[in-house]
């Protein structure tokens, strides 16, 4: 299934439609049961759901509207399994003591990463400071093995705020889980390397997340450097895919600033995931996601060419949400 998702990604709409139709036709012929069909559709990235009504109307095998709710439920159950990202397993090494909670991505583990985690505050100071405010500190650091990484520290705004965050997921945990959610949804993001919480029992003082560093440009910089702000078709398509994906799974990013979209080799990566939230209510999600879209629109207040470029996309998503045709 990973192969079909990757094969579809660079294709144009008409090519995607044809490729998906062939894939679904073959899958239904091999496994004709309704349950097998739901499994096949749920394994597709949500970005491709918009093509499915036309495909099912053409093959006249099953009514897609009767499958849509089941596909949504199957995906939600799959995403619930991501909660194991805070437990020791084959993918992540988890260690816990009175004073800290730590997760390391086993596939990215190294001596240099362990050394960084032992003196993470010193690493932040030694690195290139990208952001420093009361809530967060972000640093670009070069580890001993030469790998450049992003270290993000979430600072307690006050003792009361620290206690409150200790009762729910720390922002580092939200960010860590959010990256795994995006990967499952087919949205690119810098890969998690490690997460750390400095604690006193259950009381979290500071939390940290370490990710790979992307060498790409922010979407705002990318647009301003393109002639007449006509970004390449595959970048625009990536943005379109991202915008239609979130409503399919009722997950909101929480901050569509242009600096949170990174363009790297014609791919669009999303960063700053600590405000991501999963919703149960379609109505509440709709309001939250419309605020995300409004935030994206405000990026281009002083960039009229970019505003004209993204206007059709913004309007399409608003219409889609207002007509409630995504998950209705």
Give the pLDDT band of residue 32 (cuts 50, 70, 90): low
The domain of 36 spans: 2-82
pLDDT confidence of residue 228? 44
Claim to verify: residue 73 and residue 183 sit in the same structural domain: no
pLDDT confidence of residue 20? 84
**In contact, 288 and 279? CB cutoff 8 Å:** yes
Residue 268 predicted with pLDDT over 70: yes
Claim to verify: residue 191 and residue 241 sit in the same structural domain: no
309-317 mean pLDDT: 93
Nearest to 326 by CA among 266, 283, 274, 262: 283
Average pLDDT of the chain to the nearest whole number: 87
Kindly state whether residue 46 falls inside one of the protein's structural domains. yes
Number of domains observed in the structure of the chain: 3
Kindly state whether residue 103 falls inside one of the protein's structural domains. yes
pLDDT confidence of residue 277? 92
For 84-115, what is each residue's pLDDT tens digit? 889 999 999 999 999 999 999 999 999 999 99
Kindly state whether residue 119 falls inside one of the protein's structural domains. yes
pLDDT confidence of residue 230? 55
Kindly state whether residue 303 falls inside one of the protein's structural domains. yes
Tokens 């970004």 correspond to what residue? 231
How many H helices and E strands in the chain? 13, 12
pLDDT confidence of residue 227? 54
What does residue 143 show for φ and ψ, rounded to 5 degrees? -75, 170
pLDDT confidence of residue 124? 98
Classify the C-alpha dihedral 63-65-69-75 as positive or negative. Answer: positive
Kindly state whether residue 328 falls inside one of the protein's structural domains. no
Q: Cα separation of 74 and 76, whole Å?
A: 5
Claim to verify: residue 223 and residue 290 sit in the same structural domain: yes
Claim to verify: residue 207 and residue 94 sit in the same structural domain: yes
The last residue of a domain, from among 26, 57, 82:
82
For 205-241, what is each residue's pLDDT tens digit? 999 999 999 999 999 998 887 654 556 677 888 999 9
The last residue of a domain, from among 82, 100, 124:
82
The last residue of a domain, from among 150, 184, 212:
212
Q: Cα separation of 69 and 92, whole Å?
A: 32
Claim to verify: residue 38 and residue 75 sit in the same structural domain: yes
Claim to verify: residue 44 and residue 129 sit in the same structural domain: no
The tokens of 26 are what? 């073959």
Claim to verify: residue 103 and residue 204 sit in the same structural domain: yes
Claim to verify: residue 101 and residue 195 sit in the same structural domain: yes
| CATH number of the domain where residue 271 is located | 1.10.510.10
pLDDT confidence of residue 244? 92
Claim to verify: residue 221 and residue 169 sit in the same structural domain: no
Give the pLDDT band of residue 325 (cuts 50, 70, 90): very low
| CATH number of the domain where residue 207 is located | 3.30.200
Kindly state whether residue 327 falls inside one of the protein's structural domains. no
Give the CA-trace dihedral at 25, 30, 32, 38, to 10 degrees. -70
pLDDT confidence of residue 327? 45
**pTM, rounded to two decimals:** 0.88
Residue 1 predicted with pLDDT over 60: no
For 117-168, what is each residue's pLDDT tens digit? 999 999 999 999 999 998 999 999 999 999 999 999 999 877 676 767 776 7
Claim to verify: residue 190 and residue 132 sit in the same structural domain: yes
Kindly state whether residue 224 falls inside one of the protein's structural domains. yes
Claim to verify: residue 100 and residue 176 sit in the same structural domain: yes
**Which segments of the chain are extended strands (E)?**
92-96, 100-105, 128-132, 136-142, 148-154, 192-200, 203-212, 217-218, 251-252, 261-264, 267-270, 277-278
The tokens of 33 are what? 């049961």
Kindly state whether residue 188 falls inside one of the protein's structural domains. yes
For 36-55, what is each residue's pLDDT tens digit? 788 888 888 988 888 888 88
Claim to verify: residue 192 and residue 269 sit in the same structural domain: no
């Amino acid at each position: 299934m990973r192969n079909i998702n990757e094969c579809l990604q660079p294709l144009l709409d008409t090519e995607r439609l044809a490729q998906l139709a062939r894939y679904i036709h073959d899958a239904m012929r091999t496994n004709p049961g309704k349950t097998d069909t739901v499994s096949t559709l749920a394994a597709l990235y949500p970005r491709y759901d918009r093509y499915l009504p036309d495909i099912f109307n053409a093959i006249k095998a099953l009514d897609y509207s009767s499958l849509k709710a089941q596909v949504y439920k199957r995906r939600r159950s799959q995403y619930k399994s991501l909660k194991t990202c805070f437990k020791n397993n084959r993918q992540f090494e988890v260690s816990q003591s009175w004073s800290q909670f730590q997760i390391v991505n086993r596939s990215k583990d190294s001596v240099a990463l362990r050394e960084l985690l032992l003196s993470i505050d010193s690493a932040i100071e030694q690195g290139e400071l990208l952001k420093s405010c009361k809530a967060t500190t972000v640093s670009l650091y070069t580890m001993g093995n030469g790998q450049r990484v992003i270290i993000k520290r979430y600072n307690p705004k006050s003792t009361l705020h620290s206690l409150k965050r200790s009762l729910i997921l720390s922002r580092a945990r939200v960010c860590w889980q959010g990256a795994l959610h995006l990967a499952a949804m087919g949205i690119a993001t810098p890969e998690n390397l490690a997460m750390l919480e400095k604690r006193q029992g259950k009381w979290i003082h500071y939390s940290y997340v370490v990710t790979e560093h992307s060498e790409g440009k922010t979407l705002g910089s990318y647009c301003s450097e393109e002639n007449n702000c006509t970004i390449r078709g595959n970048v625009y398509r990536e943005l379109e895919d991202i915008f239609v994906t979130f409503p399919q799974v009722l997950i909101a990013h929480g901050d569509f600033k242009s600096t949170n979209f990174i363009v790297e080799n014609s791919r669009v990566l999303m960063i700053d995931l600590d405000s991501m939230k999963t919703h149960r209510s379609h109505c509440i999600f709709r309001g939250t996601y419309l605020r995300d879209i409004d935030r994206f629109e405000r990026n281009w207040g002083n960039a009229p060419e970019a505003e004209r470029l993204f206007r059709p996309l913004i309007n399409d998503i608003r219409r889609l949400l207002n007509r409630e045709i995504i998950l209705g």
